Structures are given as structure tokens and as C-alpha cells.
Structure 1
Amino acid sequence: MAKEKIVLAYSGGLDTSVILKWLKETYDAEIIAFTADIGQKDELDGLEAKALATGASKVYIDDLRDEFAQDFIYPMFQSGALYEGQYLLGTSIARPLIAKRMVDIARAEGATAIAHGATGKGNDQVRFELTAAALAPDIAVIAPWRIEEFREQFPGRAEMIAYAEKHNIPVQASAAKPYSMDRNLLHISFESGMLEDPWFDPSSDANKGMYVLSVSPEDAPDQAEYVELTFEAGNCTAINGEQLSPLQVMEKLNELGGKHGIGRVDMVENRFVGMKSRGVYETPGGTILFAAHRKMESLTMDRDVMHLRDSLIAKYASLVYNGFWFAPERLALQALVLESQKNVTGVVRLKLYKGNVIGAGVKSPVSLYNPDIATMEADPSKAYDQGDATGFIRLNALRLKVSSGVEQNKKQ
């Protein structure tokens, strides 16, 4: 009889390499290793050979960068999503894409299960498994870190290293980087290790070598750089007049943002599973895109449409953070977001300088800003009669006056 097949989300690091071998032994199954290329750069070098040497029967390394930029990053940025006021959701938004592709591979290969190396304390386990539940409820999910037998066998890093050495698993384990790092097209996240102390300063001169995508703002150029972003229906389509794909936009903005020390965030956030965790993020291109998009909206988006969309930002961000990308409520919100973006079209000019993104101009063929109406000088259009404000204020003040009268009567 043919063996069962399991599709494993594989990064090539110590954890997933050990998990690959452990799954093969424990389940007596064929392990199909899958790695999504979502912008990790040289981290992908040699992965196929490693996976095969560790025991994988087949390896998929799929370039999903275009899909990631166009179908995940761009729609999320149209929503203005920002988790807890700081986090641009770089890791969160990548997980549903990875899980979606795992499900596709499982279907194509006739696999009965997918597996991941996310720990039982983190958010990623939820994101992977909620996506699988939404797209393929019939496919089982194996999470070794939540299996008691696995945790007993590997109570710490030393046991995993010993297991790798025993089974000739080609991994490099070192204490040179006492933290974990996750990279994709939108950002790099850093957590655990030395970063578990919220008083530890990774931006100090002694520690700033941790950062990958950006220079320190202190080391950024002393000369500001101007950049123009063109938007069509809420999506950036060109930089400095050059038409670019969503992937190319992200790559170019990452380069510009990193050069000027833009996009570093150090925060203590609330995980979905209930605990607080400290994360450090580099999101240079995303930070520029977020600022430009907001500025474009300020000129072209109707006030009440903007306020309605803004009232949903926290909900949308939580849905992404918590793994509900394919949930019906996120899809419903996306429909509203898409409608709100139909006139978000024009050009935004920004100034990049030592970690800062500074607005330097905005224009649009569908601008809602009318200088004739907004002017403090005489209104040549006669569209606004200042005398009308008297009745407007009187009506809005009515309930305040009534409430104040009630309070005064209570004191008598």
C-alpha cells in the first residue's frame, strides 16, 4: 500500500528540519516539503538539497511574491490596517498565503494532512489552521509542538541539535543570533531570545547589527530624498513616473526606505492566544506606502466614507492578525474597502529623511479639495455662505444646552 503523504511548511531551519525527520519516523509517511518564496532572498539557498537529504520525498519551492504583493499586501493596505496602532502585519498577512498553497499542494499530491512548525504559544499556529479550516476542512493538520510526545523528546534546543547530529540532518545551529527572525517582501520580524527583555535596546550602537533591511536613522543620508507615488483606485502603480507591478513597487520602496532608516517598530503586542510578546519589526517599504496611501485618501475620499472605513480599521487589523483572512467577515469588509477606494487616484510626493516620511504634496484629477470653497479669502464660487453656520451651530448645540439645564436643576 502507498504511504500516507504529509505536506510540511519547511524553512530549512533547525525546527522544521527536525520536524521533517520526526514526522517521517512517527507517521511512517512520505513528507512533501514546501517552501513559499515570499521574499526571503538568500535564505532560500540550498533548501531543496537540505530537505531531500533530511528525508523529504519531494520538495516544492514556489515563487509566490507576485501573488503576495498583489492579492494580499495591496488589499490589506487599501484598508489602512494597523494592529494596535503600530504593526503593519507583515508576518500575519503572509501566513494565509502559505497555508493556501499548502492546501493546493496537498490536493494535487493526494496528501491527507499538512504540518507546520509553529509553537503552541504563538499566533502562527492559529493563522495556518484557520486558513486550512476555511479552505480544506477535510485535510488534517499536524502541529508537533502541541504533541506531548514531541515536546518530551525535545524539551530544549540542545536535544534538537543532538537529534540533528544523530540523523545527519544538515542544519546550522548557532548562538550567534540569540533571537528568531522571519523575513518576507513586506518586512522582517525579530523576537525571542534577548528581545524577551522589553528593556533591551536593539537600536543601540552595540546591538544595531541585528537589523537587516534598514540603516540606523542616525546613519542615514544627511540629504533628504523626494519620491512620488502614483495611485490608481487605491493601489500604487508607479514610482517617480515609472510604471511598476505591485512586487516591483514593494522592492523599490524597501530599497528607498531602508536607505533612509525608515520603518523600524519596537512594540509589546497582544497575541491572539492571550499573552503579551515583544516584537521588533523592519517595514521600510510598507511604511512609505502606508503614509502615501493615507495622504492620497485625504484628498480624494469622501469624509463619511473615510470615517466609516476608519472605524473598521481595528476590526480588519485584528482579523488579519488573528488569522481570519479567509473568513466571511473579512471578505465582507474587503468589499466595503474596495468600494471606498474607487476614487483614490493621483500622485503623492513624500520626503524621506532619517527615519521620517514627510508629506510634500498631493494632487489628483478627482480631488475633493476645492480651494475656492476652503479659502479664508472671499469665496468666488459663492458655494459656502458663512452665515449658514449660525443655524448649523445652534441646532448642534441644542442637546448640549438641554443637558446642561438638567444638570443645573439637579444642583438647585
Structure 2
Amino acid sequence: MGGQVKTVVLAYSGGLDTSVILRWLKDAYGCEIVTFTADIGQGEEVEPARHKAEMMGVKRIFIEDLREQFVRDYVFPMFRANTLYEGAYLLGTSIARPLIAKRQIEIAREVGADAVAHGATGKGNDQVRFELTYYALAPDIRVIAPWREWDLNSRATLLDYARQHQIPVPSDKEGEPPYSMDANLLHISYEGRALEDPWIEPDEAMFRRSVAPEAAPNTPCSIEIGFEAGDAVALDGVPMTPAVLLERLNEIAGANGVGRMDLVENRFVGMKSRGVYETPGGTVLLAAHRAIESITLDREAAHLKDDLMPRYAALIYNGFWFSPERLALQKLIDETQARVTGTVRVKLYKGNVTITGRKSPFSLYDQSIATFEADSVYDQRDAEGFIKLNALRLRVAARLS
């Protein structure tokens, strides 16, 4: 399998798949396994992963709370660009992978490992995101991707392998699960199996972070989000850290039926994929950020950001977070955010997000100019020459038609 490996750092969730991978790595490579488990707000305890790793003979175990770093250094920079992939997807899974992979490489250096491993399949995007990050940060690292190497090519063979090696199989894993799920503080994604037919409506019982819009309260909920330099810093006047603020937004928006998305997207590896997502806090944050930008950003700066956003989104979706072009775009985006400061009032009602107010000490909105009443700044007669100059090429073309 490509030569001797002494030590490998495995991205380990503690679930069945990565537990099987842990044992398989020992069998296939005979190497020391170091596990790394990241808490990025997936909503379940990560400490049980330590016990499982210890039970399987792992000596060096890393379990780290990365929630604040995740939101501060990855989610918020992405939201400064109002990022949507293919006009809809808020990139909840995509933005988490570079953080996990980066910390894996750091741990590999700390323990002197010569390889890293992940549990992403050979048909999805995550393998690309993990490995592009590995190579961007450690160009000579050895990467082990078990799903591309082993012969456990079905759910049945995976379960058989687990039983054969006394790896506990949860009761809900015995039957074919209805979908696969990935969660972090920004979103929960549901894909595969029961959802593979894009005509089949998702089961309401599937959702964990939001109520159905029709089941949401009959009274609207109004909140105020404070921004500084493009980042949300306060909720209803109360300063909060990035992770705490996003978690609270998830609770409020989810309770009002906000944030569900059912879409078919184009994977980087070439196929189309149907995904169902819950991103309640992120949905509100996107609307609020655009609202504060609407009064603080110059027109052409705002339009330039909108032009660049799809390219920026594709870079994140495809795994190029640490590429020179993403870093360059980030500098441009961050430069535009210096005065994106103020407060946005948002009304949430049965799945809808409505902006009802925005204010900023750096507002470019001038009521004395915008008014339809008489003013001393804008001479309406100037518009005639402006229109004729812009119409010149159209009139020339029309005479030739």
C-alpha cells in the first residue's frame, strides 16, 4: 500500500465508520494510530470518543473544543462575502473541513507522524477538501483514504468486519439507515439513501434544529443583531462571542421555522447530489449582513463583492480554503468590511426572515438626498445628460439595425 507508515493521525469521530477505520489501519499498516476528535458544535458529546479510542488501544488521543475558532476564523470570514454556493447552499459542511484538516496537520507535526487519514468516501467532496488542505499545509505528508483502498465495499461487509473485530455496532446501525448526517455549529446536512430520489419529500421527523414553518409560533419574533467590521458581535444589545451568538441564533431561528433548504447541487467530483440542510442561524446572519452592508458599502464595492462571491463560494465548496486565490479574495473582502458596523432589526415568522430596520454610524444613506421632496444636492435636470450619454451606444446600434 505504498510503503511503511510509522504513525498516522486519524480524524476520528468515535462513530462506527471511523472505529472500523481505526482497526483497519492497524491491520493494513501495522502503525501507531493517533486520534483527533474536534468539537465544532455537532451537538453531541465528544468525550465518548476518548473512551472508544482507549478501548481500541490508542495511546495518544486529542479531543479539542474548536467551536469559537470555527465560527471566528472560518464561518465569519465566509459570511463577510455573503457566500452562497450555486445561489443557495450556505456551505456548512464545506467550511468545517479545512479547520479539521489544519489541526490534523498540526498534531501530526507535534507527534512526529508521517501520515494522516480521514473517513471520507471516494465519491464525495470531503475527500477533496481534506486532502487539498493537507497538501497545502504539508506538501510531503502521506495521506491514507481507507474508503479508496479497502475491500469493505458495502454496508454489510463493514458491519461484518466490525463484528469480527469486536467493534460495538449500535442498534440503529444494524439496519440500513435512512440517510447520512453531518452536523456542526453552522448547520446539519442530510444526504443519501432515502433522500437520493430528488422527488421524495424529506420526513419531518428527520429534522433536529428547526420546527416546520407551519408549526412555528403564530406571533412574529423580532431580534436585533449588532455588527462590527462585518462580523456579528451582539444579539439584542448583549455582546456575545462568535460561537455563543451563532448558537443562540440557531435556537431562535430554528424555533421559528427558519433555515431549511432542499437542493440538488453539483459536486466537485462530477456528479449531482441531493442534500437537505438546516442552517437557521446562518440564514438569519446572511440576511442581516446584507442589510447592514446595504447602508454602509459603496455601490461599486458592493457590486464587486457580488461579482466575486460565486467564485469565492466555489473555492470553499471545492476545498481551496488555503489556496492563494482564496486568501487574496479574502483580503479584498475584508478591506470592504472596515465600516460595516451597526445594528439590524430582523423579524422571524414561520420560516420567513424579514429585515425591518438598519442603522449605522457609517451609513451612506442620506435621507436629504434620497427624499422625493426638494433638496439642494441633486439637480434632477442633470439626469437628462446622464441618460443621453448612457444611451449613445444604444442609439448608434439601433440606427444600424
TM-score range, shorter chain: over 0.9
* Partner residue in 1 for 2:212: 216
User: Secondary structure of the residue that 1:175 maps to in structure 2?
Assistant: coil
Instruction: After the TM superposition, list the runs of 4 or more consecutive aligned residues in structure 1 that deviate by more than 6 angstroms.
Output: none
Following TM superposition, by how much is the alpha carbon of 1:3 offset from its aligned partner in structure 2, in angstroms? 7.6
User: Secondary structure of the residue that 1:42 maps to in structure 2?
Assistant: coil
User: Secondary structure of the residue that 2:234 maps to in structure 1?
Assistant: strand
* Unaligned segments of structure 2, at least 5 residues: none
Instruction: Name the CA distance, whole Å, in 1 between partners of 2:382 and 2:179.
Output: 62
Following TM superposition, by how much is the alpha carbon of 1:57 offset from its aligned partner in structure 2, in angstroms? 2.9
From 403, 406, 411, the equivalent of 2:400 is: 406
CA contact (8 A) 1:53 1:169 kept: no
* Partner residue in 2 for 1:166: 164
Instruction: Name the CA distance, whole Å, in 1 between partners of 2:238 and 2:319.
Output: 35
* Partner residue in 2 for 1:333: 329
User: Secondary structure of the residue that 1:315 maps to in structure 2?
Assistant: helix
User: Aligned letter for 1:306?
Assistant: A
CA contact (8 A) 1:82 1:314 kept: yes
From 371, 386, 389, the equivalent of 2:380 is: 386
Q: Residues 54 and 171 of structure 1: is their aligned pair in 2 closer, same or farther, counting only changes over 3 Å?
A: farther
- The alignment status of 1:21 with 2:23, answered yes or no, reads yes
- The alignment status of 1:68 with 2:62, answered yes or no, reads no
* Partner residue in 2 for 1:250: 246
> Alpha-carbon deviations, 1:23-42, whole Å to 9, x = none?
01110001111111100122
Q: Residues 284 and 174 of structure 1: is their aligned pair in 2 closer, same or farther, counting only changes over 3 Å?
A: farther
* Partner residue in 1 for 2:373: 377
Following TM superposition, by how much is the alpha carbon of 1:163 offset from its aligned partner in structure 2, in angstroms? 1.1
User: Aligned letter for 1:17?
Assistant: S
Structure-to-structure mapping, 1:5-404, within 5 angstroms? 5-147=7-149, 150=150, 152=151, 154-172=152-170, 173-175=173-175, 177-202=177-202, 207-379=203-375, 382-404=376-398
User: Aligned letter for 1:386?
Assistant: Q
Instruction: Name the CA distance, whole Å, in 1 between partners of 2:213 and 2:174.
Output: 29
Instruction: Name the CA distance, whole Å, in 1 between partners of 2:276 and 2:175.
Output: 19
Following TM superposition, by how much is the alpha carbon of 1:43 offset from its aligned partner in structure 2, in angstroms? 4.7
User: Secondary structure of the residue that 1:378 maps to in structure 2?
Assistant: coil
Q: Taking structure 1 as the reference length, what is the TM-score of the superposition?
A: 0.94
Instruction: Name the CA distance, whole Å, in 2 between partners of 1:345 and 1:367.
Output: 9
User: Secondary structure of the residue that 1:79 maps to in structure 2?
Assistant: coil
CA contact (8 A) 2:5 2:29 kept: no
Following TM superposition, by how much is the alpha carbon of 1:104 offset from its aligned partner in structure 2, in angstroms? 0.5
Instruction: Name the CA distance, whole Å, in 1 between partners of 2:400 and 2:5.
Output: 78
Following TM superposition, by how much is the alpha carbon of 1:401 offset from its aligned partner in structure 2, in angstroms? 0.4
CA contact (8 A) 1:20 1:55 kept: no
Instruction: Name the CA distance, whole Å, in 2 between partners of 1:319 and 1:406.
Output: 43
Following TM superposition, by how much is the alpha carbon of 1:174 offset from its aligned partner in structure 2, in angstroms? 3.5
> Alpha-carbon deviations, 1:144-182, whole Å to 9, x = none?
1111xx1x2x12111111111111112312437411000
CA contact (8 A) 2:5 2:115 kept: no
- Identity across the alignment (%): 60
Superposition RMSD on alpha carbons, in Å?
A: 1.2
CA contact (8 A) 1:81 1:316 kept: yes
User: Secondary structure of the residue that 2:94 maps to in structure 1?
Assistant: coil
CA contact (8 A) 1:8 1:33 kept: yes
Instruction: Name the CA distance, whole Å, in 2 between partners of 1:55 and 1:262.
Output: 44
CA contact (8 A) 2:93 2:182 kept: yes
Instruction: Name the CA distance, whole Å, in 1 between partners of 2:174 and 2:341.
Output: 49
Following TM superposition, by how much is the alpha carbon of 1:12 offset from its aligned partner in structure 2, in angstroms? 1.8
CA contact (8 A) 2:12 2:36 kept: yes
Instruction: Name the CA distance, whole Å, in 2 between partners of 1:127 and 1:276.
Output: 17
Q: Taking structure 2 as the reference length, what is the TM-score of the superposition?
A: 0.97
